[in-house]
C-alpha cells in the first residue's frame, strides 16, 4: 500500500529547471516593482487630495473667520456711530429742555423755522425748538443747525451746546439790570443779595381783585391791588364789543385771535411791560400747553390747561367793591359801518380818533368826551359814564 502511494505522488510532481525558476523570480520582482510604483502613485494622489481638501477647508475657515471679523468690525463701527449720534442728539435735547425750563417766561423768537429766546442782555439766542416748523424736520444733532444766524442785523455764532452767541466785536455791554421775576410773581424776594431790580408796582395782580367781590382780605398780601394794562388780563366781553361794566377791572386790549400765542411774561409772571402794545394775548392760559401740547410744570402749574371758559354759577348780587382799571381811559371804541360785521369795532387812542374824524368830516364836535362816535338815531340815547367803551 505504501509503495502504491509513493508511486502516485511521484507521478504528480513537476520538475522545474533552474532557468525556469530564474525567469519566474524575475517576473515576480517586476510585478512587485509595478505594485510598489502603483502603491506610491496612489499614496501621492491620496496625499494630494487630502492636502487640497485641507487647503480648501483652511481657506474656507479663514474666509469665514475674515467675514466674521469684517462683520464684527462693521457692527462695532455702526454701534460707535449710533452712540455718537445718540450722544449728540441727547446733548441737543438736553439743551432744548434746559432752555425751555429756565426761560419759560420769555416770549419766543422765530428764525428760519426754529424758535429761540433772547437772553444775557441780547448777547445770546438760546434754542428752545427741536423741530423745524417750516420743513417739519426733527433735529437729530447739533450739526443740523446752521453755523451762524443773523438777528437784528447782527451775527450770532453757534457754540458747542447749540446756542448762538453774539460775536465779540458786536458784544452788547448793557449795565441795566432786569426785573426780578420772583418779585414780579410774588411781590417779594427772599434773596437779600438779589442783583435784579425790585421796582414798586412791577408786581402781578392779586387774584382776589379779579374775583366777583374785587376785594382781598389777606392783610399780608404782597401782590398788586391796582389793575392796569400791564397786570390785568384782557376783557373777553370787550373783544366782542359787549363790555357794559363801568368799573371793569380787566384790560380793554384788543386781541388778534385765539391762534395768537399767549404772552409768556404775562401768563407766568403776571406782568407784561408792553401792556396794550404787546402783540401776544394777555390771558392766563398755559403757553406750554398751547405750543407743545403738554405742560412742563405738571401739577405745580396754576394756569388754565383746558382753554375753555368756566361759567360761574354763583349769582352773588351782594355789594362789591368798585375797582376800576384806569388804563382803560385811553381806549376809545367806535363803529365803522363800512367794514365787515366781524371787524366793526376799532380801538384807537383819542387823539388819533379825533384826527381821523376831523379829516373826514371837518368837525371834531361829533366826538363826545367819552370818545364815542354817534350813529344815526343815537341822539336820544344816554352815554355810559365809563370812558373806555360805548354801548353797542
What pLDDT shows up at residue 54? 79
| Cell numbers found for residue 238 | 370787550
- Burial class of residue 247, CB neighbours in 10 A (0-12, 13-18, 19+): middle
| Cell numbers found for residue 344 | 366793526
What pLDDT shows up at residue 29? 87
pLDDT in tens, 142-190: 888 999 999 988 899 999 889 999 887 667 776 667 899 999 999 999 9
Tens digits of pLDDT across the chain (392 residues): 455 545 444 555 667 788 888 888 888 888 888 888 888 888 888 888 888 887 777 777 777 777 777 777 778 878 787 888 888 888 899 999 999 999 999 999 999 899 999 998 888 999 999 888 888 888 888 888 999 999 988 899 999 889 999 887 667 776 667 899 999 999 999 999 999 999 999 999 999 888 876 788 888 899 999 999 999 999 989 988 888 888 889 999 888 888 889 999 999 999 999 999 999 999 999 999 888 888 888 888 889 888 643 344 444 444 455 566 777 766 655 545 454 444 444 444 444 444 444 444 444 443 333 333 344 344 333 333 333 433 43
Give how far Cα 218 sits from Cα of 23, 149, 222, 225, Å.
143, 50, 9, 11
Q: Work out the number of other CB atoms within 10 angstroms of the CB of residue 349.
A: 13
Torsions phi, psi of 150, nearest 5?
Answer: -115, 130
Residue count of the chain, please give it.
392
- Assess contact for 346 and 334: CB atoms under 8 A: yes
What pLDDT shows up at residue 267? 93
Q: Which helix (H) or strand (E) holds 266?
A: none
| Cell numbers found for residue 61 | 475657515
Q: List, as one string, the DSSP characters of 294-324.
A: S-SSGGG--SBSS--PPP------S------
CA distance 156 to 167: 6
| Cell numbers found for residue 223 | 401782590
CA distance 386 to 229: 16
Q: Which DSSP state fits 269?
A: I
What pLDDT shows up at residue 321? 57
| Cell numbers found for residue 196 | 435784579
- Assess contact for 264 and 270: CB atoms under 8 A: no
What pLDDT shows up at residue 24? 85
What pLDDT shows up at residue 234? 92
Give how far Cα 230 sits from Cα of 205, 254, 260, 289, 387, Å.
9, 14, 18, 23, 19
- Assess contact for 127 and 114: CB atoms under 8 A: yes
CA distance 263 to 144: 29
Beta-strand ranges (E) seen in the chain are: 109-111, 114-119, 124-127, 131-132, 137-138, 148-151, 154-158, 164-166, 332-335, 345-348
What pLDDT shows up at residue 175? 61
What pLDDT shows up at residue 314? 46
CA distance 145 to 149: 10
Total-model pTM: 0.62
- Assess contact for 181 and 197: CB atoms under 8 A: no
Q: Which residues of 127-155 are buried (b: 16+ CB within 10 A; e: fewer)?
A: bbbbeeeeeeeebebbeebeeebeeeeee
- Assess contact for 282 and 327: CB atoms under 8 A: no
What pLDDT shows up at residue 370? 37
Amino acid at each position: 500500500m505504501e509503495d502504491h502511494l509513493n508511486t502516485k505522488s511521484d507521478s504528480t510532481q513537476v520538475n522545474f529547471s533552474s532557468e525556469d525558476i530564474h525567469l519566474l523570480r524575475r517576473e515576480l520582482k517586476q510585478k512587485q516593482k509595478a505594485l510598489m510604483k502603483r502603491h506610491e502613485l496612489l499614496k501621492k494622489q491620496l496625499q494630494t487630495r487630502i492636502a487640497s481638501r485641507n487647503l480648501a477647508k483652511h481657506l474656507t475657515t479663514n474666509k469665514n473667520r475674515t467675514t466674521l471679523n469684517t462683520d464684527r468690525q462693521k457692527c462695532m463701527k455702526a454701534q460707535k456711530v449710533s452712540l455718537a449720534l445718540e450722544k449728540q442728539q441727547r446733548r441737543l435735547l438736553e439743551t432744548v429742555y434746559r432752555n425751555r425750563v429756565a426761560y419759560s417766561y420769555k416770549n419766543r423768537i422765530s428764525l428760519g423755522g426754529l424758535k429761540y429766546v433772547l437772553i444775557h442782555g441780547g448777547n445770546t439766542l438760546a434754542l428752545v425748538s427741536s423741530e423745524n416748523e417750516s420743513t417739519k424736520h426733527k433735529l437729530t444733532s447739533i450739526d443740523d443747525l446752521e453755523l451762524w444766524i443773523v438777528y437784528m442785523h447782527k451775527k450770532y455764532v453757534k457754540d458747542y451746546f447749540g446756542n448762538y452767541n453774539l460775536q465779540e466785536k458786536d458784544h452788547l455791554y448793557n449795565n441795566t439790570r432786569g426785573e426780578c421775576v420772583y418779585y414780579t410773581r410774588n411781590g417779594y424776594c427772599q434773596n437779600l443779595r438779589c442783583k435784579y431790580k425790585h421796582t414798586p408796582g412791577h408786581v402781578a395782580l392779586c387774584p382776589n381783585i379779579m374775583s366777583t367781590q374785587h376785594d382781598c382780605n389777606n392783610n399780608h398780601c404782597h401782590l398788586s391791588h391796582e389793575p392796569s394794562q400791564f397786570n390785568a388780563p384782557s376783557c373777553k366781553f370787550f373783544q366782542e364789543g359787549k363790555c357794559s361794566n363801568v368799573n371793569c377791572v380787566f384790560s380793554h386790549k384788543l386781541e388778534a385771535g385765539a391762534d395768537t400765542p399767549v404772552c409768556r411774561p404775562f401768563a407766568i409772571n403776571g406782568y407784561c411791560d408792553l401792556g396794550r402794545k404787546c402783540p401776544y394775548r394777555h390771558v392766563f392760559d398755559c403757553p406750554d400747553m398751547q405750543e407743545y401740547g403738554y405742560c412742563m410744570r405738571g401739577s405745580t402749574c396754576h394756569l388754565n390747561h383746558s382753554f375753555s371758559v368756566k361759567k360761574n354759577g354763583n349769582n352773588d348780587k351782594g355789594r362789591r367793591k368798585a375797582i376800576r382799571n384806569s388804563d382803560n381811559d385811553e381806549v376809545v371804541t367806535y363803529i365803522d359801518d363800512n367794514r365787515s360785521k366781524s371787524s366793526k369795532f376799532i380801538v384807537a387812542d383819542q387823539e388819533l380818533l379825533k384826527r381821523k374824524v376831523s379829516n373826514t368830516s371837518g368837525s371834531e364836535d361829533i366826538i363826545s368826551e367819552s370818545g364815542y362816535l354817534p350813529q344815526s338815531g343815537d341822539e336820544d340815547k344816554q352815554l355810559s359814564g365809563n370812558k373806555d367803551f360805548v354801548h353797542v
